[in-house]
Structure 1
Amino acid sequence: MQPVSLTRLYMLRIVYLIIAVGLGLVIWPGVIHHEQPWSVAQGFVNCMLAAFGLLCALGIRYPLQMLPVLLWELTWKTIWLLVVALPAWRAGPLDQAMMENLFAVGIVVIIPIAMPWGYLIEKYLKQPSDRWSRSVSN
């Protein structure tokens, strides 16, 4: 497997940093100091985003080991764009809330630019999987 270039590693670190700082500024103040109880949905969203921000902070140090976190982000945002935003856009003008969410989700475009696709294909698609049973064949 070819090593990932230092440039690509720094690109990944920048993506992790942008996400970690962004969520740190937007989500964590509310996690630490929220005066009223959250709804169940809002609690799920805020806690998941807080955890995602922490994992991205870890990705600054370990950019390749934390790639599944970025893959999750890329996957769910792509699905959201296809099954929520695109049909809404086709149905007519987007309301203010949809436009704000579209902008927030649209930032996902930085992930495929930084992603080391060759490494990802070798590591997650071509590499043999972990064993499924106790027996080890030599």
Structure 2
Amino acid sequence: MDTSTRSATIDTITPLRRNLMRACYLLMVVGLALVAWPRLLTSGFDRPLIEGTFDAVLCALQLLSVVGLFAPVRMAAMLVFEVLWKAIWVLVVAVPMLWSGGLTTEASETLFAFSFAVPFVFIIPWRALARDLLRGREPWRAASTAK
């Protein structure tokens, strides 16, 4: 790979961290294969549209997680996405439910399922990703190729 286009983050991540990231992707691959795909493939036409849409997005996430097994650092944005959408749900849905009198059974089950992503927060190489993103800004316009 050309060193000018290679991410510095890839070189700064330890093998242990890289393998822990692979474990995160594996958890997503297996978990979503067991939950999202069966729900999507066996749901009937009477299912609410948003639920089918949500499961389709989760299935796409599962397929991309397979790529993350082989390129864990380059696919790190997926782990960040996984943590962010779950954190937003917890803050916007679960916490207000708790404050207003308690979680429903369905919300409690969802919160439990989301707890499997908590280790991701400690495994994602946040500092290295931020450094890579800030250093590798892309230009707004294409560079001139004229000589």
TM-score for the superposition, normalised by structure 1: 0.88
Please list every run of at least 4 consecutive aligned residues from structure 1 whose deviation after the TM superposition is greater than 3 angstroms: none
Structure 2 counterpart of 1:46: 55
TM-superposed CA distance for 1:35, in Å, is 5.7
Aligned to 1:134: 142
Report the count of equivalent residues: 135
CA shift in 2, pair 1:30/1:94, >3 Å: closer
Alignment of 1:91-106 (within 5 A): 91-106=100-115
* TM-aligned CA deviation for residue 62 of structure 1: 0.5
Corresponding position: 1:26 with 2:35: yes
Match of 1:113 among 105, 119, 122: 122
| 1:75 aligns with one of 70, 80, 84 | 84
Which residue of the partner structure matches residue 70 of structure 2? Answer: 61
SS in 2 for 1:27: helix
> Is 2:15 the counterpart of 1:6?
yes
Deviations 1:64-106 (A, max 9, x none): 1111111111111111111111111111121211101111122
| Unmatched segments (≥5 aa) in structure 2 | 1-7
Distance 2:93 2:36 in 1: 23
**Post-superposition shift, 1:130?**
0.8
- TM-score for both structures, normalised by structure 2: 0.83
Q: Which runs of 5+ in 1 are unaligned?
A: none
Matched, 1:89 2:68: no
Q: Identity over aligned residues, as a percent?
A: 30
Matched AA of 1:73: E
Bigger drift between 35-44 and 62-71 goes to 35-44
The residue number in structure 1 matching 2:44 is 36
Indicate the RMSD between aligned Cα atoms, in angstroms.
1.8
Query: Contact 2:40 / 2:52 at 8 angstroms: preserved in 1?
Result: no
